[in-house]
A and B are shown apart, each in its own frame.
Chain A
């Protein structure tokens, strides 16, 4: 029997009259067949604010804005407090040992597939790096080959502006979320605010194995800016009909750059880690802002 139900509600305030973004529910069998029924409700925000006078709290909005890092903090705090009854699982190759290795091993299906489908070793492989799960999965099976391996971080508005999320390019070694790695931090070791047009890369740290591969000089880590990312997003969408996630568009932007310096007979593999349907509104807003400021 599948009578276990899990409910998740996302809101824009912590008050009872909050605007609700989504209500999700799954009925599942924890012992076997998994999810047997699911429900997702996405009420329209305008209706809630205009007709029912529901509340949006600026602090909650701000929290959502930087939720990746804060959510990890809260999840870890809960895990540490209730370690007997809580299982910690994070969707990236970050955190304390052995989690980064576990995520790497599962994600390594990407690199293994690349080798199998290419039937040869590509000249270059490129993947975007936030926490770095798709990247480490792409890179790991290719580490012992002669492929050029490149990880692309979120350069945001530019490395010099400090409005970026590029700890491998511009960060320093430190400890966060149970790992020693490169972090965006100030001289006292306080974690800095990060910026990226893509939420998935908006994280002040990076998986520790990437830090190791950087120090070993096996993988080259570079950053591209939001502008370059939007450009790459548009190019792939218009020329191939593939809408890439803004995260993945970082890798595409760099592939466009280096392809100009490579021979036509050479091959580049870019990991397309996600689809961009979710990012359409962000791109629309970005382009509208660019238009207004010019």
Chain B
């Protein structure tokens, strides 16, 4: 957690807001997730929130819901998720 706090502290001392993005792991594929993460970093994102797909994502809107379903259909498991986190 301290990395997130450090990031906020660093941004605050520069008087900057944080740019946080969200993407669904495994949508549309594991490979695509990794290249999307690379793109986001290059684009200047400060923090990336990586979504773990869930069968019943009731608190999410239609877009994330669809990405979640698609990712699960592609066979994303919890081990795959941590593998993605590890390669990032």
Contact = CB atoms under 8 A, between A and B. Distances in A.
A190 B55 contact: yes
Interface in A55-110: 69, 73, 76-77, 80-81
A159 interface: no
Given A76-B58, A77-B65, 20 more contacts: A69-B56, A73-B56, A73-B58, A77-B58, A77-B59, A77-B60, A77-B61, A80-B58, A80-B59, A81-B61, A177-B56, A177-B58, A187-B78, A188-B77, A188-B78, A189-B54, A190-B54, A190-B55, A190-B72, A191-B56
Interface string B52-88: 0011101111000100000010000110000000000
B77 A176 contact: no
Contacts of B58: 73, 76-77, 80, 177
A72 B58 CA distance: 9
Interface residues of A, number: 13
Contacts, number: 25
A73 B55 CA distance: 10
B75 to A, nearest CB: 11
A225 to B, nearest CB: 25
Contacts of A177: 56, 58
B34 to A, nearest CB: 20
Interface string B29-70: 000000000000000000000000011101111000100000
Nearest to B81: A188
B59 to A, nearest CB: 6
Nearest to A187: B78
B22 to A, nearest CB: 17
Nearest to A205: B56
A39 to B, nearest CB: 33
Contacts of A190: 54-55, 72
Contacts of B55: 190-191
Contacts of A80: 58-59
A189 B56 CA distance: 10
12 contacts: A76-B58, A80-B59, A81-B61, A176-B56, A177-B56, A188-B77, A188-B78, A189-B54, A189-B78, A190-B55, A191-B55, A191-B56
Nearest to A80: B59
A191 B68 CA distance: 13
Interface string A172-214: 0000110000000001111100000000000000000000000
Nearest to B77: A188
Contacts of B72: 190
A191 B54 CA distance: 8
Nearest to B65: A77
Nearest to B54: A190
Contacts of B65: 77
A202 to B, nearest CB: 15
B16 to A, nearest CB: 31
A18 B58 CA distance: 28
Q: 10 shortest A-B CB distances, which residue pairs?
A: A190-B55, A191-B55, A188-B78, A76-B58, A73-B58, A191-B56, A77-B58, A73-B56, A188-B77, A80-B59
Contacts of B60: 77
A69 B58 CA distance: 11
A77 B65 CA distance: 11
A219 to B, nearest CB: 26
